[in-house]
Amino acid sequence: MATVHSATYELLRKQGITKVFGNPGSNELPFLKGFPEDFQYILGLHEGVVMGIADGYALASSKPAFVNLHAAAGTGNAMGALTNSWYSHSPLVITAGQQARALVGVEAMLSNVDATQLPRPLVKWSYEPTWSGDVPRALSQAIHMATQPAPGPVYVSIPHDDWAQEIADDALLLADREVATAGLPSTAQLTNLTDRLNNASNPVLVLGPDVDAYQANAMAVELAEKLAAPVWVAPSAPRCPFPTRHSCFRGVLPAAVAGIASRLEGHDLIVVIGAPVFRYHQHAPGSYLPKGAKLIHLTCDLQEASRAPMGDALIGDISEMLNLLVQKIQQVDRAMPEPLPLPAPHPDSQDGPLAPEVIFDELNALAPEDAIFVKESTSTVTAFWQRVEMRHQGSYYFPAAGGLGFGLPAAVGAQLAKPNRQVIGIIGDGSANYSISALWTAAQYQIPVIFIILKNGTYGALRWFSRLLDAEDSPGLDVPGLDFCAIAQGYGVEAVEAKTRDEFRTAFNNALAAKRPVLIEVLTTTIEP
C-alpha cells in the first residue's frame, strides 16, 4: 500500500509542482523526510520571505507554488506577505505542519489551535483533514481551488503523524485529475456587451492585473485599437496589462474616488477589465463616476464583482471574454488618441543624491527589452510608469495590498520562474528591511537577480501621506544609518554603491554580465508618489 507521504509526492509530481518553498520546523520534518531527488527545496530564512518568494514564482510562472510553513508561528510570520498574495490572485498552496493528532487537544507546544481560522480571510479555502487518509484528497482539492478563477492562496494544516500512515491505492487516482473552468458569456450577454461598446460615443478602457495574468495583453491592445479608446491602468496595479508606449496608454489611475472620476470625465462608457472597481487608498470623497457615465465590469472574481459600488458586472474567463469581444466589436472611424509625450531626460544632479528619475531613465536605456521589474519603492511609482517602457506580458510586479516586504523575495521567485528573462528588483530602503534575508536565498541558489536599492533615508510614501493628513510631526518616518552593501555582502551577495549616473551605468552593466545576484545601492532624493 501507498503512504500519505508517497501519495502526496506523486500527486504533486503529476501536477507539475516540484518546488517546495519553506522554512522547516519539527512538525514539517516527517513530510520532508526522504525528499525526492526530482524535487527542489527553496529555503528562506523567515516565513514572510518564503511566502514572498513563492508569490513571485507563482505570479511569473502562472503556476501554483507549494509553500510549507511551520505550524501557527510560521503561519503568523507569513500573514503580512499573504495580504499581497490574496489581492494579486496568486495561486499558492500553503501547507502548515500540525502537532501530532493526539496532542492537539491538550495544546502541546507547536499545536496550531483552530488552525483553519488562522489564515482567514486571506485564503480562498482553509482546511485540516479529520483523518490521515484524507490528506492527499485535501491537497488535490487545494491545488484545484488555488488555480481556478479567481486564483488565490489556499491553506491546509496537516498533523505530522499523518505522513507515515498507509493509504488505499485509490488515492493515486487523484494525481491524474484535471479541473477546468468552461464558463463563457451567453449569446444574449455577449450581444448586449458588444452593442453597448459599439454604440458608445466616447468609451474608455481601464485594465487590471488579470489581463496580464491571463496573458490577454495583445487582445486588450486590439480591443483598444478597434474602439480607438484611451486606456488607463487600474489604480495600485500590481501588474502591467498594456504597453506603456502605445498611443492609447494614458497612465495609472489614482487610488482615490474623486481622482478616478476626474480622470474619466467626459467618457460615456467605462469598461473595467480584470481589475476591482476600484482599489481605493487615499480618502478623497466624491462621485464614483463622472456625470452621465456608465460602467461595465469584466472580471474573473465573484467577490470583486459583488462588492463593486457601481456598474454592471460579467464574471468569466478574462482571456476568452476579450477574445470574443475583439471578434464582435466594430472598427470605429474615430481618430486614435494622441500618444503621451515622453518625459524629458532628467538632468544629473550637480552634487548629492541622484533623482530616482535618473535611475529610471538609465534602466529604460540599458535593461533588456523583456526585463521583468519587481517594484517596491512606493513613492516612485508614478515616475517609474512614466519613464520605463514595458511592452511584454509579465514585465511588472508590485505589492497588490501595499504590504511592505514583497519586493526582494518576489524578485527572487520571479527569477526562479523565468530564468531566461532578467529580473530587476527596484526596492526602497524602507521596504527592503522587511524581507532583507531574501538576499541569502538568492546567494545560496545563485539566482541572478539585480537588486537596486533606492536609499533616501525615509519612508517616502509615508512622508507624503503625513503632509496630506497634517501629521508631519509623527515619529518613525525616517530610517537613517543603513549600509545595504555591507548587509548584502554579509548574506553572500556582491554589492556596490553608485553615487553618480556614470557609476550606476557601469554597475548595472556589470551586473547584467555577472549572471549572479548583485545589489546596487543608490543614494536618492525623495519625490512625490
Q: How far is C-alpha 292 from the chain's CA centre? A: 34
- In what helix (H) or strand (E) does residue 141 lie, and over which residues does it extend? helix 135-147
Annotated active-site residue 430? The verdict is no
Annotated active-site residue 251? The verdict is no
Annotated active-site residue 70? The verdict is yes
CA distance 490 to 441: 12
- DSSP code of residue 524: B
- DSSP codes, 218-233: HHHHHHHHHHT--EEE
Choose, from 62, 281, 320, 392, the residue flagged as catalytic: 281
In terms of DSSP bridges, do strands 2-3 and 166-167 run parallel, antiparallel, or are they unpaired?
antiparallel
Q: Is 386 in contact with 251 (CB distance < 8 Å)?
A: yes
Look up cell 554603491; give the residue: 497
Instruction: Give 3-state DSSP helix, strand, coil % of the chain, rounded to 5.
Output: 40, 20, 40
Exposure string for 253-277, b = 16+ CB within 10 A, e = fewer: bbbbbebbbebbeebebbbbbbbbb
- In what helix (H) or strand (E) does residue 206 lie, and over which residues does it extend? strand 203-207
Q: Is 133 in contact with 115 (CB distance < 8 Å)?
A: no
Choose, from 70, 89, 267, 297, the residue flagged as catalytic: 70
CA-based end-to-end distance of the chain = 60
- What would the grid cell of residue 239 be? 501588474
CA distance 45 to 39: 19
Helix (H, G, I), strand (E, B) or coil at 104: helix
Annotated active-site residue 281? The verdict is yes
- What would the grid cell of residue 346 be? 532628467
Choose, from 6, 22, 25, 128, the residue flagged as catalytic: 25
Annotated active-site residue 85? The verdict is no
Helix (H, G, I), strand (E, B) or coil at 247: coil
- What would the grid cell of residue 269 be? 462608457
- In what helix (H) or strand (E) does residue 507 lie, and over which residues does it extend? helix 501-514
Residues present in the chain in total = 529
Choose, from 5, 6, 28, 267, the residue flagged as catalytic: 28
Choose, from 6, 44, 47, 74, the residue flagged as catalytic: 47
Q: Is 411 in contact with 54 (CB distance < 8 Å)?
A: no
Task: Show which residues are catalytic.
Answer: 25-26, 28, 47, 70, 281, 402
